[in-house]
Structure 1
Amino acid sequence: MRAWRAYIVGSQMLEYRLHRDLAESHDVALADYEILVRLSEEPDHRMRMSQLASTVASSKSRVSHQIARMESAGLVQRTECPSDGRGVFAHLTKKGWELLQAAAPTHVEGVRDNLIDLLEPEERATLARIFERVIGHLRGSGC
């Protein structure tokens, strides 16, 4: 119970702090920042919407609403898949790329200050192994 409660409270506090830092400094939500990061890591800075939802561990519907909002802000653009009329890509725009470049140092600093630098190297390795196992289990069970 101690481990569970520490995880719940700690992860929520960390997420809140990272979100607040990005929102105050760059007017971007943590969830939107994560979308920008994922798109930036892909060839041509684009990804199918269904793949994007899976990558950020969110529902297709939620990501669709999020992308619509980000599209209105000029951060991403939706385009149809040329080989599959049903498929839709989310594409990082120049404005989205510039926001990501500006916000990345703030995010990295927040992650380091509030998590990474608090842990010993072996603790970081253990944390990575634990959550890789959790992710693998949940993805294997259809989540």
Structure 2
Amino acid sequence: MARPKPETFDKHKTVAENRRARFDYAVEDKFEAGLALQGTEVKALRAGEATIADSYAEIRDGQAWLINANIPEYSHGNRLNHEPKRPRKLLLHAREIERLLGAVERKGMTLIPLSIYFNKTGRAKVELGLAKGRQSQDKRQYIKDRDWKRDKARILREKG
């Protein structure tokens, strides 16, 4: 029997975060995926240089890929440097890939990277979100709810 996964992922050092994704999409489920990286990509990530603002994930030929994520060239990489915006393979179990593919095809959902981080063992991981796009009226309601939660917390803190 499979071991149950923890609710939150073991984020030791966050390298890149896609804060805009939580506003533009309603994230329904989260997955942790490994990244297949080349040597200088790991060094560039450890230096904290990565952007995933315009990136997304897709499933092609039974494999998951991270598209359009920018990991800039490592400054001391010489001729062995990597291509900054190349597609990177995501390491997921076959059952997870099938589940994601079914949700994307049937329900019209999107796979978006929420963050890139290193776990305690030093492995680069991507937090993927299975999300549905928000319309403009949904975004306005999201802003109202967020502001109300902030005001409510302030009021409770003052009243004590």
TM class, shorter-length: under 0.3
Larger-gyration structure (1/2): 2
- Normalising by structure 1, report the TM-score: 0.27
- Normalising by structure 2, report the TM-score: 0.25
- RCO higher in 1 or 2 (8 Å CA, sep ≥ 6)? 2
Determine which structure has the larger strand proportion and give its number: 2
Determine which structure has the larger helix proportion and give its number: 1
